[in-house]
Amino acid sequence: MLLASVALVALGVSAAPAAAVREQRQEPAEDAAISIRMLDIPASRVQDPRAQVYIVDHLKPGATINRRVEVENTSGESQKIDFYSGAASVENNAFTVPEGRAGNELSGWIRLKTSGIELDPGERRPVEVEIAVPRKASKGERYGAIWAQVTSAKERTGNVTQIHRVGIRVYLDIGPGGEPPTDFRIDGLAAEPGPGEFPVVTAKVTNTGERALDMTGTLSLTKAAVQAGPFKVTNGVTILPGQSGQVRIEVNQALPAGTWDVHAKLASGIVERTATGKISLPVAAPMVVANSAGPNWLVYAVGGIALLVLVTLAGWYLVRRQRIRLA
């Protein structure tokens, strides 16, 4: 499998749409900082933003892949770093990791070529990752995480042991044939007062594909010649196939009162969908945004029926005309 080089930092909180998994117990000391990122991805996924920060792939039972991640000591002291794989799941539209080193089926397939290293301040080093899928693995998508962890010495922190770990999510689909499709639809837009002085626009997204989604996107507003935005998605939402989730975008800018045109562009990886509508500002109470997210299944169904009727009538006309000529 061809691999491409990647130079994006994969840091963030566990539910961030464009970041890897990060966790810390207690507030880490300043000298306990480490970072982790992807070094290479499949060449076929080089345009996929998710594959640049996560391990996202589809494998057949019995297949094996190799990846590299890079860990950097961003602190001012030498750090002993442990590496291991762990369990993960998607619960309540969030990519969720347990505390500690709990594993699952996928983490059992992951082997890190290095279990631990020591890095000097500013030093970085690659770590090889192998994922070997058993031949009898069942079909379906699994979730896991690859962790780099620093544990502080008790003599430096009193009776409290501080654990600082950063990680990379793993989305691995197993099954014969090609990769299952990724797709979603925007079912509607709404607006509500935000936690501060600015409103929040929400979009209901339904996963119509067969792989989990990590939603990103932007919102733009236009009123006459005035434009505002784009405003980025402010919550991390991971949506399982067949399920729906609410994507929130805070309009964090003071805007004049009146009716504004809204344009939302949401994405998961390379799959993008848009929705448009109108919103009245200021938003004093929750409201539905008059919107159009493009043709839905009903529009396609009605269009298909209409086309079938036209084809049938045209065929009947041609047959009748031929019969008249033969008479």
Give the pLDDT confidence score for residue 17 in this predicted structure: 31
CA–CA separation, 186 and 199 (whole Å): 20
- Summarize pLDDT for 1-49 with one digit per residue, the tens: 444 333 323 333 333 333 345 444 433 344 458 999 999 888 889 999 9
**Residue type at position 298:** L
**Rounded to two decimals, what is the model's pTM?**
0.79
Q: Residue 168: which of 88, 75, 288, 255 has the closest Cα?
A: 88
CA–CA separation, 261 and 104 (whole Å): 47
- Summarize pLDDT for 79-106 with one digit per residue, the tens: 999 999 999 999 999 999 998 899 999 9
CA–CA separation, 222 and 259 (whole Å): 9
Distance in Å from the first CA to the final CA of the chain: 67
- Summarize pLDDT for 190-231 with one digit per residue, the tens: 999 888 788 999 999 999 999 999 999 999 999 988 899 899
Average of pLDDT values for 157-171? 83
Give the number of other CB atoms < 10 A from CB of residue 124: 15
Q: What is the dihedral of CA 292, 241, 99, 6, to 10 degrees?
A: -80
Beta pairing partners, 170: 55, 144
**Residue type at position 84:** Y
> Could you give the count of Cα atoms lying within 13 Å of 249 in the half-sphere of its Cβ?
25
- φ, ψ for residue 75 (rounded to 5)? -95, -175
The tokens for 32 are 């306990």
Q: 104 near 144, Cβ under 8 Å?
A: yes
Give the number of other CB atoms < 10 A from CB of residue 27: 9
Strongest mean pLDDT among 151-160, 237-246, 292-301: 237-246
Q: 195 near 246, Cβ under 8 Å?
A: no
- E strand intervals along 20-123: 21-25, 34-38, 40-42, 55-59, 64-73, 79-87, 89-91, 94-96, 110-112, 116-119
CA–CA separation, 119 and 196 (whole Å): 43
- Output DSSP code: residue 254: -
- φ, ψ for residue 157 (rounded to 5)? -125, 15
Q: Measured between alpha carbons, how far is residue 14 from residues 244, 259, 301 in Å?
A: 19, 36, 40
Which ranges of the chain would DSSP assign to H, the alpha helix? 49-53, 105-109, 154-157, 297-326
- Output DSSP code: residue 48: -
- Summarize pLDDT for 282-302 with one digit per residue, the tens: 888 887 886 655 444 333 333
